[in-house]
Amino acid sequence: MRTLRSAGVPDSAIPDMGVAAVARRRVVVRDCARHSIRRRRMTGRAMQVICLIAVLIGVTPLVALVIATVSKGAGALSIGFLLHAPTPEGVPGGGISTAIVGSGEIVAYAVALAVPLGLFIALFLFERAGAIASSIRFSADVMSGVPSIIIGIFAYAVYVERFHHFSNVAAGFALGVLMLPIMVRANEEAMRTVSVDLWEAGISLGARRSRVARSVVLRGALPGVVTGNLLALARGVGETAPLLFTVASPTFAMTLLIFNDATQPFPDAQQTAWGTALVLLTLVLILSVTARTIAWTLNRKTR
């Protein structure tokens, strides 16, 4: 600016020269954008195509699995199939009533163990910090990746060998141990979404920590807690390996019935396996949809 004034340029012309420079820069930017827009559009479309291909690759096995299960298992479904007890191997007819009841009982034991314990541990991790909380959190992350057959061996050593018999309680214990770390991490992450200001406001008003946790934290985190627990339950329902070491008979659980009948040389047994697989697939689908629906409904109410 001083250089222009020292050169004898009038002050009235200096702003005009600044506006002209800005206009020239805009023209340069516009020209560059015009030259690159074709390349940018082609790159964007290529990325969209790649993402679509990735989605198709991921969905194709799931669709193939559902189609195969429905096509091969639909012929076995009937009221009698769901209400009658299994027949001996090689004998046609029968159903899966005992397997449905057994799976329900096992899942009930697992839920009774994992849900309250996972909730209390998540509350502890939410409230506390330090070496103990970090160790628990690290252990939960490690346990989430442990193969289910290892948990089955653990349940066998802890429960079956000690009480000298197989039972649905032992199977529920195994599934509860399997589901617990998933529930702990899901519950803690759901609680982390609750504003810390609400927690501190409740404490500053003189409320007990347990009351604040119950009335503020849990209420705000309820959608995430329900979703995480139901998804963990859906995983536990479909597990087979832990039950191999804990359940007395394959007819006492749907997953074991599928595992046993699918390897039999009898067509009726294989048909029963496909029918049971379809029932189990439907149950897992219902649990997943229920989890999403409950979470969506609770989110709307909390807003």
Q: Residues with Cβ < 8 Å from 79, sequence gap 6 or more? A: none
Report, as an integer, the average pLDDT of 28-35.
70
Cα–Cα distance measured from residue 57 to residue 2, given in angstroms and rounded to the nearest whole number: 65
Q: Which residue has the higher pLDDT, 5 or 152?
A: 152
pTM higher than 0.85 for the full model? no
pLDDT higher than 80, residue 194? no
Q: What is the pLDDT of residues 118-131, one digit of tens each?
A: 988 888 888 777 88
Q: What is the pLDDT of residues 126-184, one digit of tens each?
A: 877 788 888 888 888 888 888 888 999 999 998 888 888 888 899 999 999 999 998 99
Hey, what amino acid is at 118? G
Q: Which residue has the higher pLDDT, 298 or 8?
A: 298
pLDDT higher than 90, residue 51? yes
2-16, 48-62, 247-261: least confidently modelled range: 2-16
Domains of the chain: 2-72 (no CATH), 79-302 (1.10.3720.10)
pLDDT higher than 70, residue 17? no
Cα–Cα distance measured from residue 126 to residue 159, given in angstroms and rounded to the nearest whole number: 31
Residue with tokens 């229920």: 290
CB 179 within 8 A of CB 115: no
pLDDT higher than 50, residue 217? yes
pLDDT higher than 60, residue 15? no
Cα–Cα distance measured from residue 124 to residue 213, given in angstroms and rounded to the nearest whole number: 10
Give the Å distances, CA to CA, from 194 to 225, 230, 260, 295.
12, 20, 46, 15
Cα–Cα distance measured from residue 233 to residue 180, given in angstroms and rounded to the nearest whole number: 10
Cα–Cα distance measured from residue 88 to residue 290, given in angstroms and rounded to the nearest whole number: 36
Average pLDDT in the chain: 81
User: Angle CA(93)–CA(97)–CA(99) in degrees, nearest 5?
Assistant: 105
pLDDT higher than 70, residue 190? yes
Cα–Cα distance measured from residue 100 to residue 280, given in angstroms and rounded to the nearest whole number: 9
Hey, what amino acid is at 226? V
